[in-house]
Amino acid sequence: MSNHLKFYIGGAWVDPVTPKTLDVINPATEEAYTKISIGSSADVDKAVAVARKAFASFGQTGKAERLALLKRILENYRKRKQEIADAVSEEMGAPSDWALNAQATAGEIHLLSTIKALEEFEFEEQRGNTRILREGIGVVGLITPWNWPLNQIVCKVAPAIAAGCTMILKPSEIAPISGVIFSEIVHASGVPAGVYNMINGDGPSVGQVMAAHPGIDMISFTGSTRAGIIVAKTGADTVKRISQELGGKSPNIVLADADFEAAVRSGVENCFSNSGQSCNAPTRMLVPRDRHDLALAVAKKTAETQKVGDPKAPGTILGPVVSEIQFSKIQKLIEAGIKEGATLVTGGTGRPEGLNRGYYVRPTVFGNVKNEMTIAREEIFGPVIAIMPYDSEAQAIEIANDTVYGLSANVESKNIDHARKVARQIRAGQVKINYPAWDTFAPFGGYKQSGNGREYADWGIHDFLEVKGIIGYGA
């Protein structure tokens, strides 16, 4: 029997206190393929009660017990990895290969990284006559997005377990089924009752209730800056810790000494991956003015090789965006780019040719973009890239930093010392040089309105810990 209409509270699958359902839409077909229940404050109260009770014992467990639990979760995750991928493909339209090799694999890699980090983590140290203890903060509320569902679920749940916290997860109501499967995995792994709980629901009905709840000690939130501000304001009355990973408008500085055509091509592909639905996507490409036209030609050619279509069809690179709301937002922002005078190089409004159903967006390249334009300021969250000319390296750095966001950035150069010098001047939580491999041991999080706190490996564990000094403890 499917658990789609149930919540996981206190070690069991339970019905909501007040029945209310929501259709889950497949964005490739625009049709509902299942339903979930929507929670309420009564469900949150139940979950908080069991989580607080469980913390009394789980918070005192040793590293070995938590490691054993994470290793069992990893073992069971691997057994159901294909099911997770299938769910992600259905709920957010990810192409089948991408759903398996990127989306589902992300969760597996975060489990591996957290296990390794926990094995090496020290929770106590002696400083003179004082003992420093790092203890789980308590009950944590985890609010995760739809764009990388397993990535964000696991890089919150795994370090929360490692820190000795108990938790309540609210997956995105737009892409919730992968979260249901993950909850089944945790249950099968023998998590003690009350340590891990999961409630489906929307922001007002569950997310804001969690943020306001006096029995929750911390909220870890990933989502839009707009929603993050609401969570932070709501949580302020109880002075709980709020850790946030929010929006981005990441610059990609292609320096004059870069392998230029390869850098532009990779920049477009990185921007468009996951149908452009990544908060750290390099959406603003900065190129030397005298090579701007070459950049547009390379970007156009690259964009037009990005096959858009049915997620289950062989060769599909980009599936639909996740929802009608998201599709409409992207269309309006493309229209704004045209209206404000940017050069539309390829793509534009409407669906790609031959696709009459599904939330498919044309891979779109804009040139001659100025940093005051809407498409350079606002997070689009679709396969749309803004190419911007610069006259000097100092100007490129100034443009890159001229944003309310600061999540990620890229620097491209064949001279590593040159790239390092520029990277140090970018105000962002992560700066990538020459499209490196994904590093789940690097801190992930933002400056400015891209949030606070850091995730991944030991960085994530630290976020869920309180620090206690016992003075007079003795050497």
Active site residue 372: no
Residue 442: predicted pLDDT:
98
Provide the CATH topology of domain 7-246+450-471.
Aldehyde Dehydrogenase; Chain A, domain 1 (3.40.605)
Question: Please, is 44 exposed, middle or buried when counting C-beta atoms within 10 Å of its C-beta (0-12, 13-18, 19+)?
Answer: buried
Q: What's the CATH class of domain 251-439?
A: alpha beta
Domain boundaries, the chain: 7-246+450-471, 251-439
169: helix, strand or coil: strand
Q: How many CB atoms lie within 10 A of CB 3?
A: 18
CB hemisphere CA count around 177 (13 angstroms): 23
Residue 473 pLDDT greater than 80, yes or no: yes
Q: What is the pLDDT of residues 331-347, one digit of tens each?
A: 999 999 999 999 999 99
Residue 475: predicted pLDDT:
65
Task: Give the integer Cα–Cα distance in Å for 38 and 202.
Answer: 7
The average pLDDT across 457-468 equals 98
Of all residues in the chain, the percent with pLDDT exceeding 90 is: 99
242: helix, strand or coil: strand
Residue of 165, 279, 379, 412 with catalytic role? 279
Active site residue 245: yes
- Banded pLDDT at 221 (limits 50, 70, 90): very high
Three-state SS annotation for 283-331: CEEEEEHHHHHHHHHHHHHHHCCCCECCCCCCCCCECCCCCHHHHHHHH
Residue 253 pLDDT greater than 80, yes or no: yes
Task: Give the integer Cα–Cα distance in Å for 250 and 385.
Answer: 11
Record the pTM. 0.97
Task: Give the integer Cα–Cα distance in Å for 383 and 370.
Answer: 19
Residue 229 pLDDT greater than 60, yes or no: yes
Work out the mean pLDDT of the chain and round it to a whole number: 97
The average pLDDT across 240-258 equals 98
Task: Give the integer Cα–Cα distance in Å for 211 and 218.
Answer: 8
The average pLDDT across 213-230 equals 97
The average pLDDT across 221-249 equals 97
Residue 199: predicted pLDDT:
98
Q: What is the pLDDT of residues 122-180, one digit of tens each?
A: 999 999 999 999 999 999 999 999 999 999 999 999 999 999 999 999 999 999 999 99
415: helix, strand or coil: coil
Q: What is the pLDDT of residues 373-422, one digit of tens each?
A: 999 999 999 999 999 999 999 999 999 999 999 999 999 999 999 999 99
- Banded pLDDT at 467 (limits 50, 70, 90): very high
**DSSP H helices in 189-258:** 208-212, 225-236
- Banded pLDDT at 29 (limits 50, 70, 90): very high
Residue of 245, 379, 412, 455 with catalytic role? 245
Residue 1: predicted pLDDT:
55
The average pLDDT across 317-324 equals 98
- Banded pLDDT at 76 (limits 50, 70, 90): very high
